[in-house]
Amino acid sequence: MKEIYLDNAATTRMKPEVLEAMLPYFTDYYGNASGVYSLGARSKMVLDQARGKIASTIGAYEEEIFFTSGGSESDNWALKAVCEAYQHKGKHIITTQMEHHAILHTASYLETRGFEVTYLPVDHEGFVSLKELEEAMREDTILVSVMYVNNEIGSILPIKEIGELCHKHGILFHTDAVQAYGHIPIHVKENQIDLMSVSAHKFHGPKGVGFLYIKNGLELSSFIHGGSQERGRRAGTENIPGIVGMAKAAELAHRDMEVNEEKISKLRDYMINRVMKENTQVFLNGPKGENIKLRASNNVHLSFAHVAGESFLIRLDMEGVAASAGSACTSGSTDPSHVLLAIGTDRELAYSSLRFTLSEETTREEIDRTCDLIRQIVSQLRELSPIF
């Protein structure tokens, strides 16, 4: 029985073309990009090519792309470095209650370092109010960090409007675009983004590599001290195979974006419709109805009243379906998802929630089998439930 993988917001399968592009840089071309010998020159060349390729996908200049170890590092760097560099202007930053923990935990660390953080509330579909954002801005606000696409419920935020608002008030704008890059077209200049985090393993690239876009002119300190790699701002011998793989994955994702997104969102809607029709007391979390166009194309997030999410996941896994209870970072802990609580889901229902995230590799047959299983398992688990 083939595994049905529906946890693509957590990580994705690396594409065979990506592995193929990476392999020579483990075996034949292993030279250090800083070396003066020709083996090093080859690494230096592919590093520059990868940087150029990535920059062109977001309308940035090459020197604005800094390779990192992934989304978490990029988020940490953006927040900590802006706070350090601009603290003479003020010590207040604004973010939202539904960010990834890489942002939220960095923000609470910064609170221990004398910074003040406003955590903006979000509405029942996971959107921030521009009016509330503007009201939260102060003389001493130096940074706003709002995610592009929420990783749990799939809300796509109005990044351009947020960027414009920040710049109108002279505030820097960072976005965690880990769930957006490779799925929706992003132009950092048009969207007025100053810093942006991306991770390769979320768009069929390798794990442990990503980048931070830093707009020219921002004087940020080095995140990792050491050698002069990444223009002296992020030391350490470059992860050439990873970077080559990320550039390849970026190329494929952008080449096929339109076709893939159309295909995936059709499957998403098909799955949502089937599950809503075939089960009672099931609720779709995140953007819906009119707002479905503001929902990530791959995201299906559902709550099933009186069904324990953890038991549901285990039953699905026994049948070969990989899904998730909210986010990978919250599963395993006993707290319900902070995102579901932020959108006002009651605690009991939050524990009865599952996230299915599709990819272009997902087939109609896989979704049909998953929907059949959902119907069976929901009715079985409810028969066992004393309160249903």
Q: Would you name the residues annotated as active-site residues?
A: 329
Phi and psi at 226, nearest 5°, equal: 160, -125
Q: How far is the CB of 93 from ligand PLP (least distance, A)?
A: 17
**Could you give the angle at which helices 71-86 and 101-112 cross, rounded to 10 degrees?**
30
Beta strands (DSSP E) in 178-263 are 195-199, 210-214
Q: How far is the CB of 38 from ligand PLP (least distance, A)?
A: 33
Q: How far is the CB of 186 from ligand PLP (least distance, A)?
A: 14
Three-state DSSP at 145 gives strand
Q: Quick one: which of 43, 57, 96, 151 contacts ligand PLP (CB under 6 A)?
A: 151
Q: Which two tokens stand for residue 154?
A: 């799939």
The Cα–Cα gap between 151 and 155 comes to 8
- Residues 64-103 vs ligand PLP: string with x where CB under 6 A? ------xxx--x------------------------x-x-
The Cα–Cα gap between 332 and 329 comes to 8
Name which of 7 and 116 has its Cβ closer to ligand PLP: 7
Among 90-98, 172-180, 183-191, 287-295, the segment contacting ligand PLP (CB under 6 A): 172-180
Q: How far is the CB of 330 from ligand PLP (least distance, A)?
A: 12
Q: Which two tokens stand for residue 378?
A: 């929901």
- Residues 183-212 vs ligand PLP: string with x where CB under 6 A? ----------------x--x-------x--
The Cα–Cα gap between 36 and 56 comes to 28
Q: Which two tokens stand for residue 114?
A: 């004398």
Q: Identify whether the C-beta of residue 145 lies closer than 8 Å to the C-beta of residue 79.
A: yes
Name which of 180 and 381 has its Cβ closer to ligand PLP: 180
DSSP line for 160-229: HHHHHHHHHTT-EEEEE-TTTTTTS---TTTTT-SEEEEEGGGGTS-TT-EEEEE-TT--PPPSB-SSST
Three-state DSSP at 192 gives coil
Q: How far is the CB of 178 from ligand PLP (least distance, A)?
A: 4
Name which of 72 and 345 has its Cβ closer to ligand PLP: 72
Q: Identify whether the C-beta of residue 388 lies closer than 8 Å to the C-beta of residue 306.
A: yes
Name which of 69 and 291 has its Cβ closer to ligand PLP: 69
Q: How far is the CB of 179 from ligand PLP (least distance, A)?
A: 5
CA angle 151, 157, 162 (to 5 degrees): 135
Q: Quick one: which of 64, 125, 176, 230 contacts ligand PLP (CB under 6 A)?
A: 176
DSSP line for 273-309: HHHHHHSSSEEE-SS-GGGGGGB-TTEEEEEETT--H
**Could you give the angle at which helices 38-58 and 240-255 cross, rounded to 10 degrees?**
30
Q: How far is the CB of 102 from ligand PLP (least distance, A)?
A: 5
Q: Which two tokens stand for residue 277?
A: 């029709």
Q: Which residue is nearest to ligand PLP (CB)?
A: 71
Q: Which two tokens stand for residue 193?
A: 């983004």
Name which of 185 and 320 has its Cβ closer to ligand PLP: 185
Name which of 276 and 322 has its Cβ closer to ligand PLP: 322
How many residues sit close enough to ligand PLP to count as binding (CB under 6 A)? 14
Q: Quick one: which of 128, 178, 193, 243 contacts ligand PLP (CB under 6 A)?
A: 178
Name which of 69 and 311 has its Cβ closer to ligand PLP: 69
Q: Which of residues 207-246 bind ligand PLP (CB under 6 A)?
A: 210
Residues near ligand PLP, by CB under 6 A: 70-72, 75, 100, 102, 147, 151, 176, 178-179, 199, 202, 210
